[in-house]
Amino acid sequence: MTRNVSQSNALYERAKAVIPGGIYGHYGYFVRDTGPKFFSRSNGSCFWDVDDNEYIDYMCAYGPMILGYNHPKVDEAALKQLKAGNTVSLASPQLVDLAETLVDMVTASDWALFGKNGGDSTALAAMVARAATGRRKLVKIKGGYHGVAAWMQAKSNPGMTPSDSLEVIEIPWNDIDALRLVIDHYPDDIAGFISSPYDHPVFADNSLPAENYWAQIESICREKGIVIIVDEVRTGFRIHLNGANNEYDFTPDLICFGKAIGNGYPLAALTGSDALKQAAQDVYFTGTQFFNAAPMAAAKATLLELQNIDGTNVMIDYGTRFKKGLSDIASSHGYNLKITGVPAMPYFRLTNADPQIHAEWIDQCVGHGAYMLANHNNFISTAHTEADMKRTFEIVDKAFKTLGPPPPQSTNTA
Ligand SMILES: Cc1ncc(COP(=O)(O)O)c(C=O)c1O
């Protein structure tokens, strides 16, 4: 089924005339011809496009929406602070309140600094690791995404020079030997190891840490004085409320947060251990908007509400049942649906259908009102209801019916 998206398309044409690419960045990469492109409003787990089609949103704004759109407690806190003042010549007490809340909640943290985007926190983490160790190099996971800063982009991206990422070494995910090899090669020059808690690339199955992976990383890094940076910008509060390291049993030195920390209000944070506090004080880190008080009030309300409702477990429970339901529906139509990643961030792949059929299946789901992406992990929020799950199962069933059975010998190994 294709919905009427004519208003979206008309806006897109206008956008292309005055905005490079029309819609840019990650929103642009996943624009689909027949799909919605602009929203008119949002509420709870849903948004409406400018053609007034309703969607249950399983992208959650690519992660920030964790408690539901227009969450009353979060919005009230933000609006109250907005009226009192947002960007003022002094810092707001909200800064201190939020830092205390975050440090109380995230077990591996003794302090917090705040920026706006996830990339602010990963860039800060890199500086802190280098300042603390006096070393230059960073080890990251191949394909791991940590933001748009030049040092994190692929050398081949337009606008990059090879020197931008000269000090960044990539190793495969879940490969301890590769880390050992890199350390043998640069015994005294690795400042930090940066990775998401698990591997969540686009266009490929997501992969959880192998047993003992993080414990081994921890012991190697401790022995060699390498700072362990966990990038929780995407996973934050969707694996463990107190930090994903509690799920995978290790203690990082620095944790990067962004996206969901303010339920959509712009805020990012870096938290760290006492041992790195001086380095975090020494590095140069600031931004005109870093002290906006309303997003800080929103973030504090978000964190308190997540604690209050045991939000992470609510999402894990929904995600676990969602996964089972979707796989069962797929099987009943002859499809194998592989779902990877953690329960609150499912990545879908139909293994016995080629990638075009997989994309068509997702388009059908979107066309019937469940907003998902084919080649990026999806997100669950605490606002997704039982009625949403039931409705989504009906939509997914319809989508498979429209597709018909999988063609013989069709596969998707992406
Ligand atoms: C794991 C991870 N780190 C860092 C970033 C960068 O965050 P931002 O786009 O807010 O700068 C992202 C964004 O998707 C991310 O997924």
Span 29-84, pLDDT tens digits: 889 989 999 999 999 999 999 999 999 999 999 999 999 999 999 999 999 999 99
Residue that wins the pLDDT comparison between 410 and 140: 140
> Which residue, by CA, sits nearest to atom 4 of ligand 1?
146
Region 192-216: mean pLDDT is 97
Cα separation, 272 vs 256, in Å, equals 9
Given ligand 1 and candidates 121, 145, 232, which is best to mutate, with the most ligand atoms within 8 Å of its CB?
A: 145
Atom of ligand 1 nearest to the CA of 26: 14
- Give me the pLDDT at residue 333, please: 97
The pLDDT value recorded for residue 238 is: 98
Given a cut of 90, is residue 1 above it in pLDDT?
no
* Long-range interactions of 273-281: CB distance < 8 A, separation 24+: 273/108, 273/109, 273/110, 274/110, 274/111, 275/132, 276/128, 276/132, 276/227, 277/110, 277/111, 278/132, 279/128, 279/129, 279/131, 279/132, 280/111, 280/113, 280/124, 280/128
Span from the CA of 155 to the centroid of ligand 1 (angstroms): 18
User: What are the pLDDT digits (tens) for 280-294?
Assistant: 999 999 999 999 999
Largest CA distance in the chain: 66
Instruction: Tokens for 368, please give them.
Output: 């019937």
pLDDT at 155: 87
Indicate the top mutation candidate among 255, 259, 377 to test ligand 1's pocket, ranked by most ligand atoms within 8 A of CB.
Answer: 259
Q: Which atom of ligand 1 is nearest to the CA of 196?
A: 1
- Give the integer Cα–Cα distance in Å for 60 and 353: 27
Amino acid, res. 380? I
- Give yes or no for residue 122 CB within 6 A of ligand 1: yes
Q: What is the mean pLDDT of residues 329-343?
A: 98
Residues 106-157: pLDDT tens digits? 999 999 999 999 999 999 999 999 999 999 999 999 999 999 999 999 889 9
Task: Tell me the residue type at 174.
Answer: N
- For ligand 1, say whether the CB of 146 is within 6 Å of any of its atoms: yes
- For residue 253, what is the DSSP state? S
CA–centroid distance, residue 263 to ligand 1 (Å): 15
| The pair of three-digit structure tokens given for residue 89, joined into one six-digit string | 């010549």
Burial of 167 (0-12, 13-18, 19+ CB in 10 A): middle
Q: What is the mean pLDDT of the chain?
A: 97
Going from the N-terminus, what domains does the chain have, and what CATH number goes with each? 6-69+311-403 (3.90.1150.10), 73-308 (3.40.640.10)
The answer on pLDDT for 413 being more than 80 is no
Q: Is 262 in the pocket of ligand 1 (CB under 6 A)?
A: no
